[in-house]
């Protein structure tokens, strides 16, 4: 028995584009699908999707915590209360995020608005504290911004600090190691996995800034000398988040393994289907219809279209046959 179709990477392209289309539910102004609809490289699309979703904030209720030095100026307290309530209720806060979340890729413009160096390096988002929503769907940009870290169940408000400026008076908080120090002093468990266990010479904020320009990861150090390796995952030489690069490699390694399994076990699969009363007369036609992570384990759902048999592949588990989609 032969196989007429087995190209899960091509199927992946269609799946990931559907994911981009689904992300547009955040706002009709985002237009993610239009930026990728003509792209066909599965690995490129995988990285673009993960880089984008890393910048967004998943809609789920979280408890808000404030650092021991947190202070909000009176003019921003009302909007901060609104943001805090949205976070606690698991509501969308995209309008307060960087306008760069509109971009899947703008390398051709040499702007790199589709990446967030602070987030990739230290896992810290920045949130604007504007009140009025502009025509692009985002709040008006504010001088002071809120620096915040999210995990699955918690939100950590680090501090509100000015950025930007004109002329010689500029405020550049993006590489300020005070952000790491706040995490260390208040919620060290949130970054403990990244603590360096070896002695490292401390870099200055300016040195970190310069290294980042070359996509070079530099450890950050708290005031007491505790050093951390890129709590945001760091970046590869391409500028993509290292964790996202690893996830994409893992996905395609597993996809290739599943394809190899089907090719090598096609006769055994046919015998098993025959036991269930399925008489396979045509070449088998496989299609990857979905993939997701169950915890840290990848799951693929595959259909054999001629027999309408579904096969579930989940890491460290035996493949499971089903006669209807779960």
Local structure of residue 57 (DSSP, 8 states): -
Please state, rounded to an integer, the average pLDDT across all residues of the chain. Answer: 89
The three-class DSSP label of residue 95 is helix
Nearest to 265 by CA among 250, 279, 284: 284
pLDDT in tens, 53-67: 999 999 999 999 999
Q: Residue 50: which pLDDT band, with cuts at 50, 70 and 90? A: very high
Q: Residue 171: which pLDDT band, with cuts at 50, 70 and 90? A: low
- What pLDDT shows up at residue 28? 53
CB distance 220 to 226 below 8 Å: no
- What pLDDT shows up at residue 107? 63
- What pLDDT shows up at residue 197? 85
Sequence-distant (≥ 6) Cβ neighbours of residue 198 within 8 angstroms: none
pTM of the shown model: 0.89
- Average of per-residue pLDDT across 216-220: 94
Question: Using CA atoms, how far apart are residues 133 and 139, in angstroms rounded to an integer?
Answer: 4
Most confident listed range (37-51, 157-171, 263-277):
37-51
Question: Using CA atoms, how far apart are residues 56 and 102, in angstroms rounded to an integer?
Answer: 10
- 114: pLDDT strictly greater than 80: no
pLDDT in tens, 244-266: 999 999 999 999 999 999 999 98
* Lowest model confidence (mean pLDDT) among 26-35, 39-48, 122-131: 26-35
Would you tell me how many other CB atoms lie within 10 Å of the CB of residue 237?
10
156-182 core/surface letters (b: 16 or more CB in 10 A; e: else) = bbbbbbebeeeeeeeeebbbbbbbbbb
- What pLDDT shows up at residue 57? 94
Local structure of residue 323 (DSSP, 8 states): S
Domain boundaries, the chain: 62-240
- 14: pLDDT strictly greater than 70: yes
Cα angle 183, 185, 189 (rounded to 5 degrees) comes to 60
- What pLDDT shows up at residue 75? 94
Sequence-distant (≥ 6) Cβ neighbours of residue 247 within 8 angstroms: 46, 50
- What pLDDT shows up at residue 141? 85
pLDDT in tens, 272-311: 888 877 777 678 899 999 999 887 899 999 999 888 889 9
- What pLDDT shows up at residue 280? 75
- What pLDDT shows up at residue 287? 96
């Amino acid at each position: 028995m032969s196989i007429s179709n087995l190209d899960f990477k091509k199927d992946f392209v269609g799946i990931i584009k559907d994911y981009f289309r689904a992300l547009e539910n955040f706002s009709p102004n985002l237009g993610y699908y239009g930026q990728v609809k003509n792209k066909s490289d599965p690995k490129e699309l995988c990285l673009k999707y993960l880089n984008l979703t890393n910048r967004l904030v998943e809609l789920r209720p979280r408890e808000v915590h404030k650092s021991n030095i947190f202070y909000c100026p009176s003019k921003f307290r009302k909007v901060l209360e609104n943001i805090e309530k949205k976070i606690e209720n698991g509501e969308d806060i995209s309008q307060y995020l960087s306008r760069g979340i509109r971009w899947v890729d703008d390398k051709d413009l040499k702007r790199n608005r589709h990446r967030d160096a602070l987030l990739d390096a230290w896992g810290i988002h920045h949130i604007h504290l504007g009140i009025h929503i502009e025509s692009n769907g985002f709040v008006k940009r504010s001088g002071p911004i809120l620096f915040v870290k999210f995990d699955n169940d918690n939100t950590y408000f680090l501090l509100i600090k000015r950025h930007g400026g004109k002329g010689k008076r500029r405020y550049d908080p993006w590489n300020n190691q005070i952000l790491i120090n706040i995490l260390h002093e208040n919620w060290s468990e949130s970054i403990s996995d990244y603590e360096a266990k070896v002695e490292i010479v401390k870099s200055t904020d300016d040195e970190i800034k310069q290294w980042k320009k070359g996509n070079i990861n530099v450890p950050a150090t708290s005031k007491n000398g505790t050093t951390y390796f890129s709590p945001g995952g760091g970046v590869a030489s391409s500028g993509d988040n290292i964790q996202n690069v690893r996830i994409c490699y893992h996905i395609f390694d597993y996809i290739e393994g599943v394809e190899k399994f089907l090719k090598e076990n096609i006769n055994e699969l046919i015998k098993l289907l025959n036991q269930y009363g399925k008489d396979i007369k045509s070449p088998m036609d496989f299609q990857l219809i979905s993939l997701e992570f169950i915890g840290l384990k990848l799951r693929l759902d595959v259909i054999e279209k001629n027999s309408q048999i579904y096969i579930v592949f989940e890491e460290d588990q035996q493949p499971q046959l089903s006669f209807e989609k779960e």
